[in-house]
A and B are shown apart, each in its own frame.
Chain A
């Protein structure tokens, strides 16, 4: 059964820092990996989707990488801003459904 782990569980950084969030998964037979953002009490907003054949995706200040063979993905956020404060979840889609990590709660201090 696929298991997804996110480290760290919480992260606090000063504004302007570059940061990396980590995601690992146990079964490399995945269709894709998706990074989401969740604000308190809200639904999930899709940030980046990486297909299994891809190595990375970029959107603005965000860059996500995928190393399927090692079961790892990273989300890189450049020049962090207070508005980036939220919980970030990664999820992997395999043959059955999508499995989620517990998330990393990010706080960017002004």
Chain B
């Protein structure tokens, strides 16, 4: 079955560490997105990529980095520069154009 896989489901980060969240899709979608969700708030866009080897900053890109070396993969690194990283992170993908989004099951990141 086609879909988006995010791993790990839960992740714990120590102060000063960089951590990488994985997002893989087998839907043959061109575009991929990373969102952050905090309690009681809507999803906020971190980064997006519409084609391999290209990506754009979203509304809250500071302290995060991404790469898009393969169409299927769009990993997100939460760097030590992100001062408040505890949140639920969601990855999505879509066909380019006016199509809907498909979401993964999310990764919950906690700073310990």
Interface residues of chain A, those whose CB is within 8 Å of chain B, are 4, 31-32, 34, 36, 41-46, 49, 51-52, 89, 91, 93, 97-103
Contact = CB atoms under 8 A, between A and B. Distances in A.
B38 to A, nearest CB: 10
B90 A43 contact: yes
Given A97-B33, A97-B48, A102-B40, A31 B98 contact: yes
Nearest to B101: A98
B105 interface: yes
B103 A44 contact: yes
Contacts of B105: 42-43
Given A42-B106, A43-B90, A97-B58, A103 B101 contact: no
B90 A44 contact: yes
A101 B90 contact: no
B52 interface: no
Interface in B52-93: 58, 88, 90, 92
Interface residues of B, number: 24
Q: Per DSSP, are chain B's interface residues mostly helix, strand or loop, or mixed?
A: loop
Contacts, number: 57
12 contacts: A34-B101, A41-B88, A43-B104, A43-B105, A46-B102, A52-B98, A89-B43, A91-B101, A93-B100, A98-B45, A98-B101, A99-B42
B66 to A, nearest CB: 14
A16 B48 CA distance: 41
B42 to A, nearest CB: 4
Contacts of B40: 102
Given A97-B58, A102-B40, A103-B42, A43 B100 contact: no
A46 B93 CA distance: 12
Interface in B1-49: 6, 33, 35, 40-43, 45, 48
B98 A32 contact: yes
A36 B90 CA distance: 13
Contacts of A91: 43, 101
